[in-house]
Each structure stands twice: as C-alpha cells, then as structure tokens.
Amino acid sequence: MKGFMALVFLIIVAGAAGYFFNPDIKNMIDEQLFYNTGMKNHESIGYKWQNEDGVWQLTQTPPAEGIEYEKVKVRDDWNVMNLRPK
C-alpha cells in the first residue's frame, strides 16, 4: 500500500513539474482548459477616439488618418453595453 501511494504521489509531482517547468505543456493546458472558464484573461487591442461630435468611440480598427487615438487593452470576455437610454 505504501508503494502504491508513493507511486501516485510521484505521478502527481511529475505532472505538476511538467506543467510549471515546460512552457509548451503549460500553454497547451491553459489554452484548452482555461479558455472559457473565466480563469484566463482574454485581452485584445482596441482603439479609443472621439468623433467629430465629441462622442467617444471604442473600435477594433484605428480611425481614419489625422484623428488622434489611444490604444487600449480590451477584455474579450466582457460585454460592453451602453447604459444610457436613447
């Protein structure tokens, strides 16, 4: 029984070591298991700028040339809704 428990313990330690010390395994597990669980941040680049009426815009593509904009990190797993009634 002690030998079996030692074997189980060694398998768990080897799996944990593989996860923490091998970036390929860590990336594969993170991508496969944690993608839709909310445990991993999903960020992309967005562009924040003001249109000619002074209204702030947040888009996935930069505005036309000549318009000042700011690159911002946007979480892909959040829903952004306008809270002001129209």
Domain ranges for the chain: 2-33, 43-75
- The pTM of the whole model exceeds 0.75: no
Query: What is the mean pLDDT of the segment spanning 4-26?
Result: 83
Q: How high is the pLDDT of residue 55?
A: 92
Q: In the prediction, which pLDDT does 41 show?
A: 60
Select from 79, 77, 70 the least CA-distant residue to 47: 70
Q: Which two tokens stand for residue 81?
A: 């809704």
Kindly report the backbone phi and psi dihedral angles of residue 5, in degrees, each rounded to the nearest multiple of 5, phi listed first. Answer: -65, -35
Q: Tens digits of per-residue pLDDT, 25-63? A: 777 777 777 665 655 566 788 899 998 898 999 888 999
Q: Residue 41: CB partners within 8 Å, gap ≥ 6?
A: 75, 77
> Long-range CB contacts (< 8 A, 24+ apart) of 24-31?
none
Instruction: Yes or no: say if 47 and 65 are a contact pair by the CB < 8 Å rule.
Output: no
Under the banding of pLDDT at 50, 70 and 90, the label for residue 83 is low
Asked whether residue 20 carries a pLDDT value surpassing 80, the answer given is no
